[in-house]
Structure 1
Amino acid sequence: MAAISPQRSHLDPDKEDQKVGARRSDGGPAGLHNDVRNADGSSLVGSDILGLEALDPALNMKMHLVNDAIDEIGWTPYHTKLFFLNGFGYAVDSLILLFQSIIAGQAFQEFGRKGYVNGMTIAVYVGMLAGAIFWGFGADIIGRKYAFNISLFICSTSCVVAGAMPTWESLGVFIALLGFGGGGNLVMDTTVFLEFLPGSKQWLLTFLAAWWGVGQAVAGFIAWGFMVPRKWNCDADAVTCSKDENWGWRYTLFTGGALVFLLSLLRITVVRLRETPKYLLGMGKDAEVVETFEYLSHKYNRPCSLTLEKLEACGTINNSHKKGGFFGELMVHLRGLFSTKKMGISTGMIWFSWTLIGLAYPLFNVFLPQYLAARGAEFNRTPFETWRNYALTNVSGIFGPMLAGLLCNIKVLGRRYTMVIGALITCAFFFGYTAVRKDYQDVLFTCLINFCLNIYYGTLYAYTPEVLPSAHRATGNGISVAFNRIMGIISAVVASEGNTATSVPIYVCAALFIVAAITSALFPFEPYGRRSS
């Protein structure tokens, strides 16, 4: 992986424009910093997000040529496959996050109500924390391809085995393993998709988060199917609850595990992922970068003017950190996120935002079944109605990122103000939710909150990898998710010591989103119209 260094290469980027410049698809000269058109004729007029930062000049110049090549090839069926298969990863992450909250009550009752009542929430967040860190660092060292393919297999097998566990403690172990696979999977989804995307299509990274809502919806419908029938679920006030009369939560995990296993097979059979060109570039493998683009160019009959000679003419990137061994590489990736003052401020604010949403999201969404159960007594809901409403709430989350994807591609809004809008509207509905007294109001407000919350969340998921340097993207992304998971663990403790059936967590969530909106408005980078490194 390329080290970020303030040293200048032997080439001056301005003087070398014509020497190493690409050519537009119409045949005209492009120069290193000129316009390159997509295969469909569209053009991204703008610069690279980190192009003016004091990074390794040779790497900057090569990255610009790689971005030109990606834009020149444009959108292909390969990108369509990545949109769906990377989207599966989003869906799986939200699926497993909700599964543990869905099945925890019935499983805890079956195992004699012995143990920590929110133990499954802590288990899944500990697993996701470990997964985010492990796969985040690992993907910057061993590559994106292997982490991308392995993570879903870990999720699927752990989910199936968890459904067969005989004790609360053993269930927690496999729920943690389930989170470990999912934690790394989510880091890879945005990283891999972004590093193949043409600049004019980067807004699709926000749109990709719609799959998060799909995963929530699937979890809701599976729960609706298996957690309602009395033949599979013990009554809440039952004195005893045996395994034979309580298969609902196990069927939920078996079904989810089988679905994830199918998705993991599709990842390998439908698209045989090639290592991302930006990772190869950072590793100094210029020849493999060119080979990847030649493959896409020939397979989809698209123009590509990038050559090995053009990359080599930019100079040699600084790879001296490889002499430091494994831990030396880790430190280089961490330092690389703070290479300049502006980048350091950006990295810190991103991590802070993930910390905020890490507390707000589970307080509302993961513990929503508890809140709904308490309100259900007031509304005289049946289990069927409770889980039906839960499914409806999760379906509404699909459309938030879709709207966010459109908003963030409007110049006056961009990514930052799309997040501001999502956060403030979510905050308003949180405050309004405390006044809910009727059943239909409850359903309406929970759906609106989930819709608006995902406008913010989906944009933050996309913004994070967009503004991180490619050489350290997975590391920065992984640490962001790690902060999110740490707060998830804390939220589980808060829920155990406090009372999530009251409206207090709603006020806390509202306040957190106000802070998140202010932070978003102050982000130093705006990716609209600019290409990621």
Structure 2
Amino acid sequence: MSTEKSLTPGLQPDDERDIGGYVSEHSNDDSMSESDKERDLLAHHGQDPALSRKMCLVNNAIDELGWTPYHTKLFFLNGFGYAVDSLVMLLQSVIAGQAYLEFGQHGYETAMTIALYAGMFVGSLFWGFGADIIGRKHAFNFSLIICCVATIVAGGMPNWPSLGLFISLLGFGAGGNLVLDTTVFLEYLPGNKQWAVTLMAAWWGVGQAITGFIAWGFLVDEKWNCSSVETCTRSNNMGWRYVMFTSGALVLVMSILRLTLVQLRETPKYLLGMREDKQVVDTFEYLAKKYNRPCSLTLEKLEACGTLSVEAHKKFSFSEMAGHLRGLFITRKMSISTIMLWLSWIMIGLVYPLFYAFLPSYLASLGANLNVTPFEKWRNYTLTNISGIFSPILAAWMCNIPLLGRRYTMLIGALLTSAFFFAYTAVRTKDQNVGFSCAIAFCLNIYYGVLFAYTPEVLPSAHRATGNGVAIAGNRVMGALSAVIATEADTATSAPIFICGGLFAALGVVAALFPFEPYGRRSS
């Protein structure tokens, strides 16, 4: 029995395995019960039979190992990646206005948004395919370092195009983080702790709040921020550069902690798909010895499950990437699930930013008085982002309730967000504006937090990063498109606001109709 303290008050370590939707049945014999197989979400959905049997043994070994300090480190260090992703996504919108003034307003006004989303699109696909082909470990370690370097260098750029280049590189690194943070964490989690992937989304709000605090500190003082293009120079407009330098330094610290505090081992589920059975066993034996936990998995048990029918190769090629895409459409149910997931990511990538693009003009036409000072602007920005920290905590609790699960938690989050979208159109004062902004941030992150966690949960391990990467890439394409629409379209019309609110409610309904419910099941 483990000597570690229970992570749940009132429960002993062995009792903790009985919560979360199923009762774990571990034994040290060689049998693999049907109940074990039934708990694996995709066990009967077209997976290679040998891989399915091995996956069941690995899931049993993960459950047997339980939650360890290794998982705690992953929660924080992967959470740093989440925080960095949200931080850098907001950076371009925070600094773009002042940078555009300094560079004489030459170029496309929303170019930084497009540059970021273009970088994240490429990064999501590159790191997504890469993580399934060459492994999770390298992408996990290097993507955050790229964010760090690009952020710091961007703060020193002399013109609008060069700034856009490094914003793109920043997005390229962040695209890998979004794919890998959830994938790596999930593939080490015991089945009854998979709700922790939703909880990790709280770090997203932390990153946004940090951005708000940094902007609040540097973009308010007049000595660091010019007010007109005619008088704007580098020397009197250093505020946005300080924002980038400070953020880059913070990301550097996170990168160092990620490389030093946890010596990440390749995930067992990736190794299974690469036919590295011995390394799988070595990983579990290492963790079991280090944290004084049992380990009944042996190489003989894995080899007795048979040989995988398809051999994977650690090299980039069109055939290898096509194989990972095909793996997401093995059965009809998996095909429907994959398409619905991707469409959800695509739609929310367009709906959310478009709502806020058209909202100011609509409110102004109704006589709303929302003029704020720079201090009030960044204070409100920070308060709104802080509100998004707590909703993933609520969502993690909700998605572990049998009657709700992941799907209905997303439905509730989306419907609440849609309701506040419509209510937002009645805002007339500054205080109302802050209140509704905070409410929307809270409700939106219920939906978004679960969607981020649900996506890798219902994808097969051998193709998980690919499916996750394509989903996020589709989201970024729509984000870039929304920036173009916001610039070129007539924002005085009210129709897009109500369409966006209705579509967000529809996203919740789609979530409730997803084919798979991961509650009480183990990711495959």
| Structure 2 CA distance for partners of 1:396 and 1:66, relative to 1, 3 Å | same
SS in 2 for 1:397: helix
Moved over 6 A (4+): 365-377
Which residue matches 1:31?
Answer: 31
- Give the total of aligned pairs: 501
Aligned to 1:467: 458
**1:329 Cα deviation (Å)?**
1.0
Classify 1:364/1:229 alpha carbon distance in 2 versus 1 (closer, same or farther; 3 Å).
Answer: farther
CA distance in 2, matches of 1:249, 1:307: 56
**CA separation of 1:273 and 1:502: change in aligned 2, threshold 3 A:** farther
Question: Given the alignment of the two structures, is residue 53 of structure 1 paired with residue 52 of structure 2, yes or no?
Answer: no
Distance in 2 (CA, whole Å) between partners of 1:241 and 1:285 is 59
Quick check: 1:210–1:401 contact (8 Å CA) kept in 2? yes
**Residue in 2 aligned with 1:16?**
none
Q: How much has 1:225 moved relative to structure 2?
A: 0.6
Q: Is the 8 A contact 1:213 1:397 kept in 2?
A: yes
Counterpart in the other structure of 2:193: 201
Which of 135, 157, 165 does residue 143 from structure 1 map onto? 135
Give yes or no for the alignment of 1:335 onto 2:326.
Answer: yes
- Could you say which residue in structure 1 is the equivalent of 2:230? 239
User: Paired residue for 2:291?
Assistant: 300
Tell me the CA shift for residue 506 of structure 1: 3.8
Aligned to 2:259: 268
Distance 1:532 1:119 in 2: 39
User: Are the equivalent residues in 2 in contact too, given 1:148–1:189 (CA < 8 A)?
Assistant: yes
Classify 1:194/1:501 alpha carbon distance in 2 versus 1 (closer, same or farther; 3 Å). Answer: farther
Residue 156 of structure 1 aligns to which amino acid in structure 2? C
Within a 5 Å distance, the mapping from 1:426-505 to structure 2 comes to 426-498=417-489
Opposite residue 73 of structure 2, the aligned amino acid is: K
Cα gap change, 1:366 to 1:272, in 2 (>3 Å): farther
Q: Matched residues in 2 for 1:368 and 1:74: separation?
A: 48
The structural deviation recorded for 1:52 is 1.3
- How far, CA to CA, are the matches of 1:95 and 1:452 in structure 2? 19
Q: Percent identity?
A: 65
RMSD: 2.3
In structure 2, the residue matched to 1:395 is: 386
Post-superposition CA distance 1:368-408 (Å, at most 9, x none): 99999999992442110111001100110111111111100
- List per-residue Cα deviations over 1:486-533 (Å, max 9, x = no partner): 001101101111356876654343122122012111100000000001
Closer, same or farther: CA 359–55 of 1 in aligned 2, 3 Å: same
2:73 is aligned with 1:97: no
SS at 1:257's partner residue? helix
- The residue aligned with 2:117 is 125
Which is further off, 410-419 or 373-382?
373-382
Residue type at the aligned position of 1:440: D
| CA deviation after TM superposition for structure 1 residue 26, in Å | 7.1
Mean CA deviation greater in 353-362 or 216-225: 353-362
- The answer as to whether partners of 1:131 and 1:183 remain within 8 angstroms in 2 is yes
Aligned pairs for 1:191-230 within 5 A: 191-230=183-222
CA contact (8 A) 1:46 1:531 kept: no
Superposed displacement of residue 31, structure 1? 3.2
Instruction: Render the CA deviation track for 1:109-137: whole Å, top value 9, x for unaligned.
Output: 11111100000000000000000000000
| C-alpha contact (below 8 Å) 2:274/2:312 kept by paired residues | no
* Residues in 2 aligned to 1:376 and 1:292: alpha-carbon distance in whole angstroms: 63
Contact 1:101 1:369 in 2 (8 A): no
Does residue 65 in structure 1 map to residue 61 in structure 2? no
What is the one-letter code of the residue matched to 1:245?
Answer: N
Which range is displaced more, 514-523 or 253-262?
Answer: 514-523
TM-score (norm 2): 0.91
Q: In the alignment, what sits opposite 1:290?
A: 281
The residue number in structure 2 matching 1:159 is 151
Q: 2:246 aligns with which of 243, 246, 255?
A: 255
Q: Is the 8 A contact 1:165 1:171 kept in 2?
A: yes
Alpha carbons 2:104, 2:229 under 8 Å: kept: no
Q: What amino acid maps onto 1:168 in structure 2? A: W
1:313 to 304, 309, 312: 304
Q: Which secondary structure state, in structure 2, belongs to the residue aligned with residue 473 of structure 1?
A: helix
Any unmatched runs of 5+ in structure 1? 1-23, 37-44
Map of 1:3 onto structure 2: none
Shift of 1:85: 0.4
1:331 Cα deviation (Å)?
A: 1.0
C-alpha change, 1:312 and 1:367, in structure 2 (3 Å) is farther
| Residue type of the alignment partner of 2:32 | L
The residue aligned with 1:278 is 269
